[in-house]
Amino acid sequence: MITTVVGNFPKVAEAGFGTKVISSISRWQRKELSDAELEGVFQGITKAVIAEHERAGIDVLTDGQIRWEDLVTPLAKKIEGFEINGLERWFDNNVYYRRPILRKAPVRRGPILVDEYRAAKACTSKPVKAVLPGPYTFVKLTEDRYYKNDSRFLRKIAELLNEEAKALEAAGAPIIQFDEPALGFGKPPIKLILEAIAIATRGVKATTALYLYFGHLNGFLEPLQKAPVDILGVDVASDPQAVGAIRKVKWTKQLALGCLDARNTKLESVTELHALFDVVAKRLPLDRVCVNPSCGLEFLPYEQAVQKLRRLVEAVQTYQGR
């Protein structure tokens, strides 16, 4: 088993980060910081976050998404046709995001995340995966006033994400991860979603991952085995029935096991995690399993986020050493 993270990390000043992202952005908006100075803040905190992941012993990293407001805004604000609108609740969490509205045909003029990916990659010798919103989640979190047709909108967004995925692959990303938390809510159109994922991953030779978190699996773990991705991430902290679903499915993918609750400060015990590993080991070989928190760690205070990472590594090392 290898250890990894899902995406974001607390944007805080502890542990020598030097400054907070939010206060720096506020100063930049008041023109108290230049563009270059704000970029220096982003790069410095990203470097510190990556170093924190390394100290914890995580095998596959992300950049901590320090620049990201949420999962969709970093792309929507760089794609022509979108405008960023008012606040909406972020799934079933007590946080909010600004909902993008599509006013005209969306156009991606060039790479969006490549520069920040390269900057993160330069900070470490460990693998750094690139993270993108999945096409279905992107569409569900935005308002379409142009196509006014869900399937056309979904396919177009999948095409734009495919362009960005290929650019990130060309920049050296060994893994392209698509986050699809919206799949856990309502009755998602699985056939249409599978088509969109196929478009988003088309021609991508890097390892691809599809991560599900929040909500419930709603019985679609089996059909998602048909998704053209290498890794399927499952949040077993949010859905009590997820472990049972994993045991019932005939797995064709690698499993990314979201085994630490990233929305709860309670620290899981090594014994709890070992028991979960035992259950999973009865279903598929552990060399086809990676383990990670249930979602990004930004919901937690800094110290608790670090403790969760260290506990994850400790649990894997002691389990493999038995």
Q: What is the DSSP string of 160-195?
A: HHHHHHHHHHHTT-SEEEEE-GGGGSS---HHHHHH
pLDDT score of 126 more than 90: yes
Order of strands, sheet of 96-107, starting from the edge strand that comes earlier in the sequence = 80-89, 96-107, 143-144
User: How many Cβ atoms are within 10 Å of 115's Cβ, its own excluded?
Assistant: 11
- Class of domain 2-320 as given by CATH: alpha beta
pLDDT score of 197 more than 90: yes
Distance CA 41, CA 22 (A): 11
Residue 41 pLDDT: 86
Among 137, 184, 133, 142, which Cα is nearest to 162's? Answer: 133
pLDDT score of 201 more than 70: yes
Mean pLDDT of the chain: 93
- Residue 196 vs residue 15, higher pLDDT: 196
Residue 13 pLDDT: 53
Contact 179, 190 (CB under 8 A): no
- Residue 280 vs residue 14, higher pLDDT: 280
pLDDT class for 16, splitting at 50, 70, 90?
low
Residue 322 pLDDT: 72
Distance CA 238, CA 215 (A): 6
Q: Are strands 80-89 and 96-107 parallel, antiparallel or unpaired?
A: antiparallel
Contact 96, 90 (CB under 8 A): yes
Among 319, 320, 296, 293, which Cα is nearest to 308's? Answer: 293
Q: What percent of the chain lies above the pLDDT cut of 90?
A: 75
pLDDT class for 179, splitting at 50, 70, 90?
very high
pLDDT score of 21 more than 90: no
Residue 148 pLDDT: 93
pLDDT class for 183, splitting at 50, 70, 90?
very high
**What pTM was estimated for this model as a whole?**
0.94
Q: Which amino acid is at 164?
A: E
Distance CA 318, CA 45 (A): 31
Among 118, 130, 117, 122, which Cα is nearest to 5's? Answer: 130
pLDDT score of 249 more than 70: yes
Contact 162, 203 (CB under 8 A): yes
Contact 79, 103 (CB under 8 A): no
Residue 17 pLDDT: 55
Tokens (6 digits) for 267:
């620290």
Mean pLDDT to the nearest integer, 137-154: 95
Among 152, 294, 134, 126, which Cα is nearest to 229's? Answer: 134
Mean pLDDT to the nearest integer, 243-261: 93
- Residue 257 vs residue 86, higher pLDDT: 257
Distance CA 71, CA 250 (A): 30
Question: Is residue 288 packed enough to be buried (19+ CB in 10 Å), middle (13-18) or exposed (0-12)?
Answer: middle
Residue 99 pLDDT: 94
pLDDT class for 19, splitting at 50, 70, 90?
low
State phi, psi for 133 to the nearest 5 degrees: -70, 145
Residue 219 pLDDT: 82
- Residue 295 vs residue 24, higher pLDDT: 295
pLDDT class for 209, splitting at 50, 70, 90?
very high
What three-state secondary structure class fits 207? strand
Residue 238 pLDDT: 86
Residue 153 pLDDT: 97
pLDDT score of 137 more than 60: yes
Polymer length of the chain: 322
Residue 93 pLDDT: 87
Distance CA 127, CA 106 (A): 32
Residue 166 pLDDT: 99
Could you report the per-residue pLDDT of 214-244, keeping only the tens digit for each?
988 868 899 999 999 999 999 999 887 899 9
